[in-house]
Amino acid sequence: MTIKEAEDKIINEFSFFDDWMDKYNYVIELGKTLPLIDETYKTANYLITGCQSNVWLHADYKDGKIYYSADSDAIITKGIINLLIRVLSGHTPDEIIDAKLAYIDAIGLKNHLSPTRSNGLVSMIKQMKLYAVAFKNKYE
């Protein structure tokens, strides 16, 4: 599945909800289904700075693609990082670097987060793209 196809799928999922509270609850449900990061990566080295809650993000490079895993101590943040992983994981560094992530605005996510959570979202995206840049520089 391409990044665009993954984004379109998420936009479609969110289109079933009439108001933001239902969408917010859906993000919480997504947080409950986040495949957790290996405990060995729940250290300061993998902690994303700029987030209101603790968020650990790890990336593996395999066969030219990047695979992310994450965890957070806040359920809403788990849902947000789950959405990002669904779109970006399993793609090449160039695809991740070039991803516009238009679905975030299309589903209204950024507009309905508190300023600190919105900053955290930006920090998560930045860290995922930094992993892509690092893997690109190392392997390509």
The per-residue b/e assignment along 99-132, b for 16 or more CB within 10 angstroms, e otherwise, is bebebbeebebeeebeeebbebbebbbebbbebb
Check if 51 is active-site. Answer: yes
Alpha carbon distance 27, 10 (integer Å): 11
Point out the catalytic residue in the list 30, 48, 51, 85: 51
Active site residues: 51
